[in-house]
């Protein structure tokens, strides 16, 4: 992990356009001055389960996974989070320590703001507080709905669902480099690594996808959507 101290351009700051649309310019400038950006290499842990919650964090660039250690000593991936998602929303106001870990699955940069500053804004600015509640609700709904969608599907349907999620929600492209391993996909959809590998092979054999190393090309989108819907 590397800490960076970049000069904040408040007019072009992501904090202004993404999050602080309802606070005054001087507040934006103050937050910009005190925020800290941290860079993480692929595979590095950004937050560790059990760490004390001291900062409010959003993802400025890259991609991360939220995951938790199970009693079986296996990892369960809760969510894969893309650019500009807030990765510390869950537990941040309800607990003193994180109930999950966050790791970079691509080289990533986070923006960190002291939680005390966010609490102050909440108390002073009702519109800001409402925006924050709406953002938290949307993120929670997304994770719950995705979990329900996956539980309703068989193995093929789950793999198809995840491939479509990466293509449509993450990369907006039918050709993309898969950012996670087959093992991590298994942890995400609650299936074994062997079953994930076998399903990928079946999809390739049926000419639904092409696989070139880590690169996935969806060549029969309609069929993959059908498998995701009916699987």
Domain boundaries along the sequence of the chain:
2-137, 152-230
Confidence of residue 172 (pLDDT cuts 50, 70, 90): very high
Residue 180, pLDDT above cutoff 70: yes
Distance (Å, rounded) from C-alpha 47 to C-alpha 225?
34
The fold for domain 152-230 equals: Arc Repressor Mutant, subunit A (1.10.10)
Q: What is the mean pLDDT of residues 71-97?
A: 74
The more confident residue out of 18 and 156 is 156
Given a contact cutoff of 8 angstroms between Cβ atoms, the answer to whether 64 and 105 are in contact is: yes
CA atoms within a 13 Å half-sphere pointing along the CA-CB vector of 26: 0
pLDDT at 90: 67
Residues in the chain: 231
- The CATH H-level (homologous superfamily) assignment of domain 2-137 is Jelly Rolls (2.60.120.10)
Percent of the chain with pLDDT strictly greater than 90: 37
Average pLDDT (80-88) is 71
Q: What is the pTM for the complete model shown?
A: 0.80
CA distance 10 to 28: 7
Give the pLDDT score at 96. Answer: 84
Sheet holding 64-69, edge to edge: 45-47, 101-104, 64-69, 75-81
Confidence (pLDDT) at 13: 55
**Residue 40: what pLDDT?**
95
Q: Shortest CA distance to 40 belongs to which of 1, 13, 77, 87?
A: 1
Distance CA 40, CA 27 (A): 28
Residue 34's pLDDT is what? 83
pLDDT of residue 218: 97
**Cβ distance 98 to 49 under 8 Å?**
yes
List, for residues 87-134, the tens digit of each pLDDT value: 666 667 777 888 889 999 999 998 888 888 888 888 888 888 888 888
For 38, the token pair is 């941290």
Tokens matching residue 64: 């991360």
What average pLDDT does range 70-74 have in this prediction? 67
Query: In percent, how much of the chain has pLDDT > 70?
Result: 85
Q: Which two tokens stand for residue 134?
A: 């709406």
Q: Which of 181, 169, 177 is nearest to 83 (CA)?
A: 169
The pLDDT value recorded for residue 182 is 94
Structure tokens, 144: 């719950």
Q: Which of 170, 165, 136 is nearest to 62 (CA)?
A: 170
Digit-coded pLDDT (tens) for 8-63: 554 455 555 556 666 777 777 777 788 889 999 999 999 898 889 888 888 888 89
- Least confident range of 124-138, 143-157, 188-202: 124-138
Rg (CA), the chain: 19
């Amino acid at each position: 992990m590397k800490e960076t101290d970049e000069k904040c351009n408040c007019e072009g700051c992501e904090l202004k356009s993404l999050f602080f649309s309802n606070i005054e310019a001087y507040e934006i400038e103050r937050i910009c001055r005190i925020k800290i950006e941290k860079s993480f290499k692929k595979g590095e842990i950004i937050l560790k389960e059990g760490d004390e919650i001291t900062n409010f964090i959003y993802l400025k660039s890259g991609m991360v996974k939220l995951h938790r250690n199970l009693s079986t000593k296996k990892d369960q991936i809760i969510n894969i989070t893309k650019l500009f998602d807030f990765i510390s929303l869950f537990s941040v106001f309800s607990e003193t320590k994180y109930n999950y870990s966050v790791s970079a699955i691509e080289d990533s940069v986070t923006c960190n703001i002291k939680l005390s500053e966010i609490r102050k804004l909440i108390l002073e600015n009702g519109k800001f507080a409402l925006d924050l509640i709406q953002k938290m609700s949307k993120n929670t709904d997304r994770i719950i709905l995705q979990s329900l969608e996956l539980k309703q599907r068989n193995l093929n349907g789950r793999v198809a669902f995840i491939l479509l999620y990466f293509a449509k929600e993450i990369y907006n492209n039918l050709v993309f480099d898969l950012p996670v391993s087959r093992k991590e996909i298994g942890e995400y959809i609650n299936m074994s690594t062997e079953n994930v590998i076998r399903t990928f092979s079946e999809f390739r054999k049926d000419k639904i996808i092409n696989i070139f190393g880590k690169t996935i090309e969806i060549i029969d989108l309609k069929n993959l959507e059908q498998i995701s819907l009916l699987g």
